[in-house]
Amino acid sequence: MKIIVPCASCYKLNNVDLDKASHFRAICANCKSYLPIHDGIQDVNGQTLKKLVANAKIPIAVDFWASWCGPCKSFAPIFHDVAQDIREHMIFAKFNTEEDQGASVTYNIRSIPTLIVFSNEVELDRQSGAMQKTTLHTYLSRFIK
């Protein structure tokens, strides 16, 4: 399965094969920079998230987090596991709010972790706080077509 991944260097969109990206580091077709995707989960910032939301053909689940946040740390492996389970149906991304503090204003982030689901260029829903794997799986499955 291929998904789009915006380059963090030149902001061009790239089609990335998830299976190949799990074995090799994906490279931007335009500027040859490494793409910010690891195990099917993209690292996004304000610019790349805008590109992703504007161009994705399937729903996107974005985890807004920070390295100092205990619940964020406990939620990270759960987010990763669910991403591995349903990555053919949804794009998974992580947004480090420490690296791009404008996200708190742009996306109205009041607490972390906050999970926002986007589809067709709009926010469908959001959930604040860490979730267990079955809860996250059930929550996200309602957005899969």
Beta strands, E only, 18-132: 37-38, 41-44, 60-65, 91-96, 114-119, 122-128
Number of neighbouring beta carbons within 10 Å of residue 105: 8
Active site residue 28: no
The active-site residue, picked from 10, 28, 31, 69, is 69
The active-site residue, picked from 7, 28, 31, 72, is 72
Q: What is the total residue count of the chain?
A: 145
Active site residue 7: no
Q: What are the beta bridge partners of residue 125?
A: 117
Instruction: Give the catalytic positions in this structure.
Output: 69, 72
